[in-house]
Amino acid sequence: MNTRRSSAASSAAPSALLGDIRALIEAARKRAASTVNSELTMLYWRIGQRIHTQVLDGRRGAYGKEVLPTLAAQLVKEYGNSFAEQNLRRMVQFAATFPDEQILVSLIRELSWTHFIALIPLKDPLQRDYYAQMASVERWSVRTLRERIDSMLYERTALSQKPGETIAQELATMRDAQRMSPALVMRDPYILDFLGLRDTWQEGDLEAAIIREMESFLLELGAGFSFVARQKRIQIDGEDFHLDLLFYNRKLRRLVAVELKVGEFKAAFKGQMELYLRWLDKHEREPEEASPLGIILCTGKKREQIELLELDKSGIHVAEYLTALPPRGVLVERLQQATQRAQLQIEQRKIDNE
């Protein structure tokens, strides 16, 4: 009997020991990976800052455009594709977007380089700081961070209703004390009156709000539209652009790019859409699909305007309106309604704040 107990204990002991050692190894690996990530992210920031201040800044901008490709070619040769020209440009954007080294050091303990890539396109500093701090404190994965941005989490928090100085102070408190106030996490259901927003808008929110309504409208219409991306990142000559909406239409068997412009139609809008369509045609279109289609929605003061554009060998041109798409009149009417509702709520916000 004692022999059996001794044998069982002997077999259990190595098993438990093995489990303990595995846990130690895994923990060490995670710490090592975290350290490597922090070092790499800090390296990218320092490279971006150095290029920005010594090569691209001020009167040396023209010189920078010439030297950057040469610099990238040499670095790729010595250190690999991580230092290709488009990546160097992203490092410059990174340093310009996060200029405070002390704040950055606190963030890179929890956020990876890919987290920062998701944050760079956000133009509002308070909005960007909110997502950065929340991702750090809550330890969001990159996927979760992107989902929170797409769902406009910041705009739906009570925090977004406060003045800018108050928002900045709340975020500073969270960064320093790693503590969240109720305003950072409470979400008012009445803020969802219109596309998840209400009287918290600034003028720049108008475009985003209308885009979300048009997205919902096209998907609910049942005209063969499938959602692909919002703010689709497109890289052209080393620069990042963001297409408002990208759909795939099963009936047309082609990608459909949608851009909203607050204002009257301008010729430059057509040129920008041509760049997007050519990029999509080269990088995203499958062999069996037709060339991508572009829709520009313009919310002018006098009238709403819809432009339908497509590519052919000679360039971009105004396309015939396709029967598989929602009727032009319906699209114009819905765009007008979305614009009016958004503008009314912005005006109401101004009245309430007086």
Percent of the chain as helix, strand, coil, to the nearest 5: 60, 15, 20
| Total domains present in the chain | 3
- In this structure, the answer to whether residues 269 and 332 fall within a common structural domain is yes
Whether 320 is covered by a domain: the verdict is: yes
Whether 353 is covered by a domain: the verdict is: no
- In this structure, the answer to whether residues 70 and 168 fall within a common structural domain is no
Last residue of a domain, one of 97, 129, 163: 97
Whether 64 is covered by a domain: the verdict is: yes
pLDDT at 128 over 70: yes
Whether 306 is covered by a domain: the verdict is: yes
Cβ atoms of 46 and 54 within 8 Å: the answer is no
- In this structure, the answer to whether residues 107 and 86 fall within a common structural domain is no
User: Domain holding 217: CATH number?
Assistant: 3.40.1350.10
Last residue of a domain, one of 48, 77, 97: 97
C-alpha 284/C-alpha 292 separation (Å) is 9
- In this structure, the answer to whether residues 209 and 331 fall within a common structural domain is yes
For residue 284, the model assigns a pLDDT of 92
pLDDT at 62 over 70: no
Whether 302 is covered by a domain: the verdict is: yes
Average pLDDT over all residues of the chain: 72
For residue 97, the model assigns a pLDDT of 92
- In this structure, the answer to whether residues 115 and 224 fall within a common structural domain is no
Last residue of a domain, one of 97, 132, 147: 97
Give whichever of 65-69, 90-94, 142-146, 205-209 has the largest mean pLDDT: 90-94
CB neighbour list of residue 178: distance below 8 Å, 6 or more residues apart: 137
Who has greater pLDDT, 319 or 307?
A: 307
pLDDT at 50 over 70: yes
Mean pLDDT of 300-325: 53
For residue 159, the model assigns a pLDDT of 56
- In this structure, the answer to whether residues 274 and 165 fall within a common structural domain is no
| Stated pTM of the model | 0.46
pLDDT at 47 over 80: yes
- In this structure, the answer to whether residues 88 and 116 fall within a common structural domain is no
How would residue 117 be classed by pLDDT, with cut points 50, 70 and 90? very high
- In this structure, the answer to whether residues 89 and 135 fall within a common structural domain is no
C-alpha 142/C-alpha 128 separation (Å) is 14
Q: Measured between alpha carbons, how far is residue 325 from residues 17, 51, 165, 330, 338 in Å?
A: 65, 47, 45, 10, 19
| Per-residue pLDDT reduced to its tens digit, 176-214 | 555 444 444 333 332 223 334 333 334 345 666 667 767
User: Exposed, middle or buried by CB within 10 Å (0-12, 13-18, 19+), for 294?
Assistant: buried
Cβ atoms of 136 and 109 within 8 Å: the answer is yes
Cβ atoms of 55 and 95 within 8 Å: the answer is no
- In this structure, the answer to whether residues 220 and 149 fall within a common structural domain is no
Mean pLDDT of 121-143: 85
Who has greater pLDDT, 59 or 238?
A: 238
Whether 175 is covered by a domain: the verdict is: yes
List the single range of 15-24, 97-106, 154-163, 272-281 with lowest mean pLDDT: 154-163
Whether 258 is covered by a domain: the verdict is: yes
Mean pLDDT of 29-56: 82
- In this structure, the answer to whether residues 27 and 105 fall within a common structural domain is no
- In this structure, the answer to whether residues 224 and 341 fall within a common structural domain is yes
Give whichever of 55-64, 248-257, 258-267 has the largest mean pLDDT: 248-257
- In this structure, the answer to whether residues 54 and 151 fall within a common structural domain is no
How would residue 319 be classed by pLDDT, with cut points 50, 70 and 90? very low
Q: Measured between alpha carbons, how far is residue 309 from residues 21, 109, 267, 296 in Å?
A: 62, 46, 12, 8
- Amino acid 151 reads S
Whether 255 is covered by a domain: the verdict is: yes
Range of the domain at 59: 1-97
Q: Please, what's the b/e burial string for 251-278 (b: 16 or more CB within 10 A of its CB; e: otherwise)?
A: ebebbbbbbbbbeebeeebbebbbebbb
C-alpha 136/C-alpha 46 separation (Å) is 21
Mean pLDDT of 58-66: 58
